[in-house]
Chain A
């Protein structure tokens, strides 16, 4: 992004009632264009928010970070440079670069790093994004520039250990310096004239790239949920129906190793909770035999469902989406045939459809990195690893329910021996935040929360949060529902309520309301309902329960609930950890 573009983006008009989004930019230097670029990149990522990037006193990085504690911020961007660790490492300071003074530089850096770590750790509960020094070190060391001397290595080690320590904090995200190397050439980063004359050390291009990385980490979008892959020419090299099961390959010997790397990336994504489906124009028996091969790097068990037939790819994709119960905009489709990709794209314009760059080493490598960028998440939870299995169980459940001729739903639910766990601990686990921010279909109002809003709500003594988990004889679904609200007298105001789509048809939603009535002793629940483009399943639930469509501030009395609730067979347990 050019500076003129950033200035123009920042000045674009915004709705008067747009919610604010306040970020503190903590830097030891004059932030100048970095402030402009950060505001512009955030504006592009959050077009409906009124972005304010605040700065503080220049030259006092630690003091600026400490200020974040007392401010109501949505995020803090901490930009560390060498001069913040020791002023002698900046071009604006005149100090001792003599050989006998260098050990003092190292000692001083150790102290600064400790102070920085403490300041960031205690600064704010809202997200803090930190970039470690991005500029080349000044020519301070006695070794030739092409030799990494002991002292320089020690300093680099201290900086790396600071990054490691900060990365372990739950609200801190570190800008990846390797990624930065790829996007901002090292030699083009520093602008000495600007540093010396205006106190701003970055070239315009580096300021833009660094601000973009900070903005991305502050924005932290919900990752995509599923990937649908083709098989022939994509998951493996060759056409299994023609070349035979032994004729397809993904290894060094056949010069098809890039397909192997693709496979192991897919397996890695599955292990982090990404859903993986396969769509291939093939004979099911042939594909089945291919998946008997023991050397495949992604197993049959990691893929669900398989759509293997000769119908159109868009038909396969449609069926997979139905089984996953996920919207097309959360999915990536990959196929080596541009024609198939175009056909799926025309059927699902909101889906990201990618042509697998067969035979193009760098192209496949870039694709693997791109997949990390759209599916990447800060940490992998136990629920992520459960997702594929619980979806499979959910689909089996649906099949059993629809095929159980002669067995009523009530009998089936009774036989399921289901248990529901209500966790009212405050603050709730991170999984609750993720669920509220990504669930679309059974969602009371579609409301999303920033991390700072989430912290504020859960710090409010009047608010409650309930995280719901489910398991039955067919398996565990993990944490699948969240309720947030306030109790005022005998009225309970439910402000957010989401239920994962894989938990439908089990009367969990009824049990949730029963729990609220019983646990909080309320006589009425007032729902902060709002219709969204996608919350049809929630509307259907209310129509089933109350006989009419929901509306804003709709109330449900205990009496009405007791009259209309169907029989519930769950074993209910509560967990509290305040």
Chain B
């Protein structure tokens, strides 16, 4: 798995696509404010799938210990941003 180098805007766009594939009923605007607090949409299966999609698309391995904090679109975006700056 090799890390994908993207600009911040490209990262956000790709993350929206990842979320959209897992939550096809959500609009782009809804995705940007999505969080696991909303019941019935974001369950444990969605989390596992989302992590797998994000890892594959961004070429990263998400740290197991950080997984519990990845409960929103913003949190994912932040994590991916940290990974990108670590690699650069």
User: Would A7 and B48 be within 8 Å (CB), given that A2-B57, A197-B64 are in contact?
Assistant: no
User: Would A2 and B56 be within 8 Å (CB), given that A8-B21, A197-B64 are in contact?
Assistant: yes
Of the residues B18, B45, B48, B64, contact of A4 by C-beta under 8 Å: B18
Contact call A7/B56, Cβ cutoff below 8 A:
no
Q: For the complex, would chain B's binding face be called helix, strand, loop or mixed by DSSP majority?
A: helix
CB under 8 Å from chain A, chain B span 40-88: 45, 48-49, 52-53, 56-57, 64
A204 at interface by CB-CB < 8 Å: yes
Contact call A3/B24, Cβ cutoff below 8 A:
no
Of the residues B18, B24, B49, B64, contact of A32 by C-beta under 8 Å: B49
A2 CB contacts on chain B under 8 angstroms:
56-57
User: Would A33 and B49 be within 8 Å (CB), given that A2-B56, A2-B57, A204-B56 are in contact?
Assistant: yes
A11 at interface by CB-CB < 8 Å: yes
Contact call A7/B21, Cβ cutoff below 8 A:
yes
Contact call A11/B21, Cβ cutoff below 8 A:
yes
| Count, A-B residue pairs, CB within 8 A | 34
A198 at interface by CB-CB < 8 Å: yes
User: A193 to B1, alpha carbons, bound, how many Å?
Assistant: 15
A3 CB contacts on chain B under 8 angstroms:
21, 49, 52-53, 56
Contact call A198/B48, Cβ cutoff below 8 A:
yes
Q: Which of A4, A193, A204 is packed against the most chain B CB atoms within 10 Å?
A: A4
B57 CB contacts on chain A under 8 angstroms:
2, 4
Q: Which of A3, A33, A194, A204 is packed against the most chain B CB atoms within 10 Å?
A: A3
User: A411 to B53, alpha carbons, bound, how many Å?
Assistant: 72
User: A197 to B17, alpha carbons, bound, how many Å?
Assistant: 25
Contact call B64/A204, Cβ cutoff below 8 A:
no
Of the residues A7, A194, A204, contact of B22 by C-beta under 8 Å: A7
Closest chain-A Cβ to B46's Cβ sits at a distance in Å of: 11
CB under 8 Å from chain B, chain A span 180-206: 193-194, 197-198, 200, 204
B52 nearest in chain A by CB position: A3
Closest chain-B Cβ to A492's Cβ sits at a distance in Å of: 48
Closest chain-A Cβ to B18's Cβ sits at a distance in Å of: 6
Closest chain-B Cβ to A458's Cβ sits at a distance in Å of: 39
A200 CB contacts on chain B under 8 angstroms:
48
A7 nearest in chain B by CB position: B21
B24 nearest in chain A by CB position: A11
User: A197 to B62, alpha carbons, bound, how many Å?
Assistant: 13
B56 CB contacts on chain A under 8 angstroms:
2-4, 204
A33 CB contacts on chain B under 8 angstroms:
49, 52
- Give me 18 other A-B pairs in contact (C-beta within 8 A), A194-B52, A197-B64 excluded: A2-B57, A3-B21, A3-B49, A3-B52, A4-B18, A4-B21, A4-B57, A7-B21, A7-B22, A7-B49, A7-B53, A32-B45, A32-B49, A33-B49, A33-B52, A198-B48, A204-B52, A204-B56
19 examples of A-B residue contacts, CB within 8 angstroms: A2-B57, A3-B49, A3-B52, A4-B17, A4-B18, A4-B21, A4-B53, A4-B56, A4-B57, A7-B22, A7-B49, A11-B21, A32-B45, A32-B48, A36-B49, A193-B64, A197-B64, A200-B48, A204-B56
